Structure formats: C-alpha cells, structure tokens
Amino acid sequence: MCYAIPGKVSAIEDNIVTVDYFGEKKRAYNEFDNLKIGDYIYAQGGFVIKTIPPEEANSILAVWRETFFELQEHDLRLSRIDIEKSGVEKRLTLILDKAIEERPLRKDDFLYLLNLRDSDSKNLLYKTANFLRQKYLDNSCCVHGIIELSNYCARNCYYCGISVHNSKIPRYRMDKTEILSTVESAVEKYGFKALVLQSGEDPAFDTDFFCDIIREIKSRHAVLIFISFGETGLKSLEKLYEAGARGLLLRFETSNPDLYRKLHPGYELHTRIEHINYARELGYLIITGGLTGIPGQTNRDILNDILLTKELGAEMYSFGPFIPHPDTPLGTHPITTSENILKTIAVSRIVDPQNAKILVTTAFETIDKEARLSGLMSGANSVMLNVTPENLREKYSIYPNRAHNEESLQIQIDDTLSLLYSLGRAPTDLGVSGNRQV
C-alpha cells in the first residue's frame, strides 16, 4: 500500500517502457531482463518493480476498473475552482490565472502568495493549487511506508529529539532479523510497494550493514526502497544504489546557509546539497524539502526553499513545520501555524505543477489533526505511514507527541483509504508522467 495498479507494457525503448493504465500512458525505467511488450508490471516511482502473470493482472484490473474511473470523476468535481473571486485582490486573480494558463511567474509573484493573509485569498490559492494537481497528475496519491531502524544519532542538531543533545531518550537499534521481519509484514501482509528505511546517523550501522539489508530485501520482495540515513558519504551512496536502493529521503531543511549553521553547528549546507545532487546523478529518486518556522526564517527564505527543491529535481517535496524537541537547545521556540504550511504546499504546487509529488508530513499532522485533509485539498498528493514496530515508535522522538504513534498499522491504512476515497484519490503511484524525464 501504495496499491500499485498493474499496467500493460505498450512500448519499450532502451530501458524506458510505456505502460498503459486503462488508456492512461505513463513511463517507467526498466531494470528487468526479457521484459516485452504485452507484459503486465507493477511500477513505483517511475521504476518497474515486478512483472506479474496476465491472469493475476486481469483479475486485479477487473476489480479496479469501475472504481478507478469513479474516483477520477469524484476528484475532478472536488478540484473545480468554484469559489467567488470578487472578494480578493485583482493581483491575486492575475497571478493565479497565469499559473492556470501555464504562463511564467516571477519570484515576487510567489512571494506575494506566501504573504497572503485573508481567508478568501488563501482559499483561492489552495483551490488553484488543487486544480493544478488534478490537471497534471490526476487523482493518484502515493502512500509510502517508513521504518525507523535506530534512534542513535551522532549529529548535534539544535532541535531534533534524537540528537546528542537529548540525554533522556531511551535508545534502540533494530537488528537484521527485526528489520527483515518488519519489511516482510509491510510488503506481503499490508501490500506496501514503496518503503523508506530511516535511521539517525548511527555509528554502529555502517554502509556494508545497510547494503546487506537492502540486497536481502530485494531478493525476497518486490518493493521500491528509499534510504534516509543522513549524510552517508558519496561513496556510500554509490554502494547503496548498487545494492538496490532507488530513492533518497534527505531534506536540506533550509536553503539559507546562515540558518543552516545555526541549526547544525559545525556542519555546512553545501555538504548536504552535494549529497542530494550526487544521489540524483546516480539515479536516485529524491525526496527533499525544508522546515517552516525556523528561528529567523522569512517568507523569502521559504520561497528559496521551494525553488531549491525544484532545482534539485525532487521527485517528492517534503515541507513540514519546525517542531523543536523540548530537550534540545531550541526546545522553547514557538511552532508555526497550519496556514503557513498550507501556503507552502500550495505555492510548491504552483512552482512545479506538472511533476511534484507533495507530501503531507507527519509533523504537519502532529500540529493539526485536519492536516491530511487540508493538505491534500491544497495541492498535496502523497502521505507516509509509520510501519515501525509499535513498541519502538515513541522512542523515535524527533519531536514530541507525533501523530499516529499509538495507532496500529491497520488503523493507519483504514483511515488513510477512507479519506482518500472520500476525496476521489486512488492510493497508487502510476509511475512517471509524460512531462518528466525518466
């Protein structure tokens, strides 16, 4: 769950395949030998992850066919821009009309959107962002799972609850057997097709350990693996890709080098950017973004964060509120508002309407119980569920009182599906759109 719908290969050119989903054409990168036109496959994040027998594919498609088009129609109705424009500034309508008509916007236009204050204007912004999401990316919504392997971390980040600053947290480290068992349950029992393996920068977990885990997972399961182990080093990125990792979750957190130094004493922003750029060159799918509400941050900084995310070629944009853990140096800093996160999501959609998968982060859900609904209706089209064993989740305390910590995985799935279906969204990743390079 992501419930990848089977697709039929309709064309093959070198390592790129065209996949047909009920007449909708998508492209994906193929690493399988002997794949041929007419085969049925599962794709995730633009990668073919599995071939399946025609009988199995047709059985699944028969169930999905009617639901697929019903959901699309419901999403189309909900994404229409049907609110009154007369109560908002003319400049806003001009900017949003240009966005809808695919005319270029200036940085000052985007900054104007981030500075919106009155409710009617913000609602029109959110509606427009949702319209653009539906126009270019239809109703698919990625649902990835995340497994938090260790809360040991050698970093000294001034806000993170698993940093060296927090001496109160009980530490844990999953062993190989626990990790493989958790992955097996996520993939084979619950149907996940994409998983993020995450850890603090744990000195006890070296690259060879992670490579061994990834190779073992890939030998057993058809799943797209993202890694999120912090700054592993460029050579480690090479080894992890060779082992089978195909995605990297690494937020740069802020595009402002001075703010970055204040959050991470002794570390530099350019090192993190170097990791992200090199990972993209290797072929990784990139999930990155920033934190909203950092001490000293301006809306111009947030805009630069969004623009940098696009520049880095991100497959998925991840923007959430800055929530400092109380047992860290920045623990008393106030948390930003939900409206600032929603504006960041909406402007991200307008900056990159055709390609961006935009995540509703757990941090956003932690400060606002309606975050998933409001985020998905403001341009977002991705969510992430916590697959970490329930007895360990509370210990991965990057910030306090995380949403979903006490919910079973089945409850998370049921609630997510219920919300997505109510919005006309399909919990599936159909691969890469025709507008993005594979």
d(CA 5, CA 25) in angstroms, rounded, equals: 13
State whether 154 and 20 are in the same domain: no
| pLDDT score for 23 | 85
| pLDDT score for 124 | 95
Q: Is residue 43 part of a domain?
A: yes
Q: Is residue 50 part of a domain?
A: yes
State whether 62 and 161 are in the same domain: no
Q: Is residue 126 part of a domain?
A: no
Which distant-in-sequence residues (6+ apart) come within 8 Å of 118 by Cβ?
88
Q: Quick one: tokens of 42?
A: 């599962």
| pLDDT score for 64 | 84
State whether 61 and 142 are in the same domain: no
| pLDDT score for 364 | 98
State whether 312 and 414 are in the same domain: yes
Q: Is residue 31 part of a domain?
A: yes
Tell me the Cα Rg of the chain.
Answer: 21
CATH number at residue 406: 3.20.20.70
State whether 302 and 182 are in the same domain: yes
3-state secondary structure of 372: helix
Q: Is residue 412 part of a domain?
A: yes
**Interval 137-168: pLDDT, tens:** 999 999 999 999 999 999 999 999 999 999 99
State the CB neighbour count (10 A cutoff) for residue 154.
Answer: 11
Please say whether the beta carbons of 202 and 173 come within 8 A: yes
Domain boundary pick from 49, 66, 83: 66
State whether 407 and 319 are in the same domain: yes
Q: Is residue 99 part of a domain?
A: no
Angle at 110 between CA 109 and CA 115, to 5 degrees: 95
Domain boundary pick from 19, 41, 66: 66
d(CA 418, CA 381) in angstroms, rounded, equals: 15
Please say whether the beta carbons of 56 and 4 come within 8 A: no
Residue ranges making up the domain that contains 417: 137-422
Per-residue pLDDT of the chain (438 residues; tens, 9 = 90+): 456 788 999 999 989 999 998 888 888 999 998 999 999 999 888 899 999 999 999 998 988 888 888 999 999 999 988 655 667 899 999 999 999 998 999 999 999 999 999 999 999 999 999 999 999 999 999 999 999 999 999 999 999 999 999 999 999 999 999 999 999 999 999 999 999 999 999 999 999 999 999 999 999 999 999 999 999 999 999 999 999 999 999 999 999 999 999 999 999 999 999 999 999 999 999 999 999 999 999 999 999 999 999 999 999 999 999 999 999 999 999 999 999 999 999 999 999 999 999 999 999 999 999 999 999 999 999 999 999 999 999 999 999 999 999 999 999 999 999 999 999 998 887 544 333 444
Quote the number of domains for the chain: 2
State whether 260 and 371 are in the same domain: yes
State whether 38 and 182 are in the same domain: no
* pTM score of the predicted model: 0.95
**Interval 337-366: pLDDT, tens:** 999 999 999 999 999 999 999 999 999 999
State whether 40 and 185 are in the same domain: no
Q: Is residue 246 part of a domain?
A: yes
Torsion region of 352: left, alpha or beta (phi above 0 gives left; psi -120 to 50 gives alpha): beta
State the CB neighbour count (10 A cutoff) for residue 393.
Answer: 17
CATH number at residue 16: 2.30.30.140
Please say whether the beta carbons of 343 and 291 come within 8 A: no
Q: Is residue 103 part of a domain?
A: no
| pLDDT score for 435 | 35
